[in-house]
Amino acid sequence: MSKDRADARLGRLLAIVPWIVAHDGPSVEEVCRRFSVSERELLADLNLLFMCGVYPFTPDVLIDVHVADGRVWINMADYFRRPLRLNPQEGLALASAASALLNVPGADADGALATALEKLETVLGVGADDAFDVELGTAPSEVLETVRRATDTHHKVQISYYSFGRDGHSTRVVQPWRVFNSGGQWYMTGWCEKAESERMFRVDRISSANLEKETYSPPANLAAGAPPVYTPAPEDPRIVLDLAPPAHWIAEQYPNEDVQLRAAGVLRVTLRSGQRAWLERLLLRAGSHAIAVEGDPALRTEAATRVLRRYRS
Amino acid sequence: MDRLERLVNLVAALIDTNQPLTRAEIRQRIEGYSSDSEAFRRNFERDKELLRQMGFPLVTMAVDPAHPDDLGYRIPRELYELPDPGLDESELAALRLAASAVQMEGEWGQDAVMRALRKLGGAVTESRDDATTPRPDSAPAGLAAIPGEDAAAVAFAAVAERRQVSFTYRGQKRVIDPWRLSFHRGHWYLSGFDHTRGGGGEERMFRLDRLEGPLAAQGPAAAFARPSAPQASPPPAWRLGDEDEVVAELLVDADQARWARQDLGEGAVKSIGADGSVVFEVGITNRDAFRSFVLGFLDHAEVLGPPDLRAEMIEWLDAMAGVEGERG
């Protein structure tokens, strides 16, 4: 038996046993449903438990497992009366999920999730002094609630949107497929009727959202899990920059095709972007710490000149 | 014999005993260990390693104070047992829903959340009838994703146990009393008291994905008291610096003012023009970061003052605009 398999089964068994001990003959079916385990797996584990116990392994100190009429009883396992404490990963993963969902605008601050999180944080030791907090991001709650409702009920939604990449405002009707949070930002994906193609929108850049009367049919096979947030298209123009250390954040923060360490701490990074305003911001912020090796040399000059006009007019 | 069976017996024996068990006792009492001493040693080491990885509080101590080299093992019940949080069925169902809606990314996140739910007593999945009725707490699977970083898990336990942590940050070794772990704008932050800073140390906040090397807990639990109100959220980039504070005056055009208000806060609004443009007053201690923030607005924002800050911005832009800018 491989190591992984043994630790996964041991963990599962030591979680299920205390629950069965504490309940008077629950049905096998309920145990399976509750612990997401198949009946075959459960019975195999129980069969094994049947032979376990403590020294000297005489019948009176063996764990007593009894399965009859679709129900299961366990006795003589006082040392397994409680499950093992949550380890740090388990505590973090579950507390994060609960805390994050509670942070979503529209969540019931006094509901079952809120009380569950409070109880969980207390046993985990982070219940006091504001010691643990998960915050998902700063989308305006009315916009977020509107686009989430539109996604749930398959209503089209009209949005006023500021495109960061093109530095322009527009109004468009979208069939919203999914609303999700990734990297601390809220996004909406869907079919944009204006662009006549699939688009992703940042919810915090939607200045207003209104439900339309019209509904739509979502595509049958929407991928589960968060889609990749930004992927440049292969036909987007290529830009190669040499970055001095103060501009190394560009290589860390943005998806790129290649990074090479050149002499004296200079990173040569290859990016693709078809979004002029996005690139202008990046170059203006990096200043002389980024030198364009490949790409339109006029881009940065023109952007800097345009901004300077404000200061010189 | 099945290794799982041996492990169950080992855990039972180590919990059931009040006295630490010696290796000889373990070998004799636990079914499934080989009579060959080399094979026993190897298997027992593997089992100990697996239990420690899973988080079992396996304590090693001298069996007899007169013979400190004679080691024994036990699992103290008070460290093993999960205190009952007293969750009712609706609370368990809410946690299960949360675990499906918010996914912890990375190698261990999904397994860890499943194990946590099982330890708390599992949860009955909603029947199909219930699922079609929208509830106030309803949330689709995959609503949000949060990175599952090893450092965040270690920090979580250290905050809970109030144990000191050490790590390297900006090339310096730090020793911190960890007060608070928070997830903010897509990153995990640890705040606490940095013993290695200044004269007697000071409160600091660290982005965990910027640590150089691992974060490790050290020393005993309950090593410090947490203040009741630690710093709530990471300061904006333009406050993350050691420069003397200057108050910048920033004009943002009407069509971008909404986002500037989100970032700078309502408290920073100084005046609103007839055209909807907004002037903000922002205290800054990091000029580079502030310039970066302002340039994010391209030509929709302008530093009005103080004069030296405005001059710096012009100089920065001039360097890029070249001759054309000089004329402009």
Per-residue exposure over A195-212, b if at least 16 CB sit within 10 Å of its own CB, e if not: eeeebbbbbbbbbebeee
Distance from CA of A5 to the nearest CA of B (A): 9
Using a CB-CB cut-off of 8 Å, the residues of chain B touching A137 are 185-186
Chain B residues within 8 A of A63 when measuring between CB atoms: 12
Instruction: Label residues A241-264 b or e (16+ Cβ within 10 Å = b).
Output: bbbbeebbebbeeeebeeeeeeee
Annotate B225-239 with DSSP letters as a single string.
Answer: PPPSS---SPPPGGG
DSSP B18-45: SSPEEHHHHHHHSTT--SSHHHHHHHHH
Residues 6+ apart with CB under 8 A from B179: A129, A131, B159, B191, B192, B193, B203, B226, B227, B230
User: Which residues have CB under 8 Å from B79's CB, separation 6+?
Assistant: A85, B57, B59
Residue B127 has pLDDT above 90, yes or no: no
Tell me: pLDDT of B147 over 80. yes
Instruction: Tell me the three state secondary structure of residue A169.
Output: strand
Q: For residue B161, which residues of chain A lie inside 8 Å, CB to CB?
A: 125
Q: Which residue of A36, A152, A161, A305 to mutate against B (max B Cβ within 10 Å)?
A: A305
Task: Fill in the amino acid letter for A229.
Answer: V
Cα A120 from Cα A124, distance rounded (Å): 6
Among B263, B244, B242, B243, residue whose Cα is nearest residue B252: B263
Write the pLDDT tens digit of every residue in B31-90: 888 778 898 999 999 999 999 989 999 999 888 888 877 889 999 999 999 999 999 999
Looking at residue B10, what is its pLDDT?
A: 95
State the ipTM, two decimals: 0.85
Is A173 in contact with A193 (CB distance < 8 Å)?
A: yes
Reported as a single tens digit per residue, the pLDDT across B165-222 is: 999 988 889 999 999 999 998 999 999 999 987 777 888 888 899 899 899 999 999 9
CB contact under 8 A, B4 and A48: yes
Q: Is A113 helix (H, G, I), strand (E, B) or coil?
A: helix
Closest Cα partner for A170 from A143, A208, A216, A212?
A: A208
Three-class secondary structure of residue A136 per DSSP:
coil
Q: Answer whether B102 sits within 8 Å of A96, measured CB to CB.
A: yes
The whole-angstrom separation of Cα A178 and Cα A190 is: 7
Min distance A178 CA to chain B CA atoms (Å): 8
pLDDT (tens digit, 9 = 90+) per residue, A186-239?
Answer: 999 999 999 898 888 999 999 999 999 999 998 877 765 555 556 667 778 888
Strand A267-272: give its sheet, edge to edge. A258-261, A267-272, A238-243, A290-294
pLDDT band at B279 (very low <50, low <70, confident <90, very high): very high
Q: Rounded to an integer, what distance in angstroms lies between the CA atom of residue B30 and that of residue A62?
A: 13
**For testing contact with chain B, the best of A31, A38, A50, A94 (most B CBs within 10 A):** A94
Tell me which residue of A62, A69, A63 sits closest to A26, measured CA to CA. Answer: A69
What is the CB neighbour count within 10 angstroms for residue A218?
A: 15
Contact B112 A138 (CB under 8 A): no
Cα A115 to Cα A112: distance, rounded to the nearest angstrom: 5
Q: Does A307 touch chain B (CB under 8 A)?
A: yes
- Say whether the peptide bond before residue A56 is cis (omega within 30 degrees of 0): yes
Question: Which of the four pLDDT bands, split at 50, 70 and 90, describes residue B130?
Answer: very low
Neighbouring residues of A132: CB distance < 8 A, sequence distance ≥ 6:
A95, A99, A121, A126, B156, B159, B180, B181, B182
Question: Comparing C-alpha atoms, which of B315, B47, B57 is closest to residue A287?
Answer: B315
Handedness of CA A297, A299, A300, A305 (dihedral sign): positive
Asked if B159 and B219 touch (Cβ cutoff 8 Å), the reply is no
**268-297 of A, contacting B, C-beta below 8 A:** 277, 280-281, 283-285, 287-288
CB pairs < 8 Å spanning A and B: 381
Cross-chain residue pair B87–A287, CB shorter than 8 Å: no
- φ, ψ at A279 (rounded to 5°): -70, -35
Q: Inter-chain contact B46–A115, Cβ cutoff 8 Å?
A: no
Q: How far apart are CA B126 and CA B132, in angstroms?
A: 10
Residue B25 and residue B65 in contact, taking contact as beta carbons nearer than 8 Å: no
What CA–CA distance (Å, rounded) separates B186 from B173? 25
* Enclosing H/E stretch for B201: none
Mean of pLDDT over chain A: 88
Asked if residues A21 and A81 have their Cβ atoms less than 8 Å apart, the reply is yes
Instruction: Give yes or no for residue B132 having a pLDDT over 80.
Output: no
Q: What is the pLDDT of residue B140?
A: 77
**Cα(A245)–Cα(A266) distance, rounded to whole angstroms?**
7
| Nearest chain A alpha carbon to B52 | A87
Q: Kindly report the pTM of this predicted structure.
A: 0.85
Which residues on B lie below 8 Å from A132 (Cβ)? 156, 159, 180-182
Q: Which stretches of chain A drop beneath a pLDDT of 50?
A: 1-4
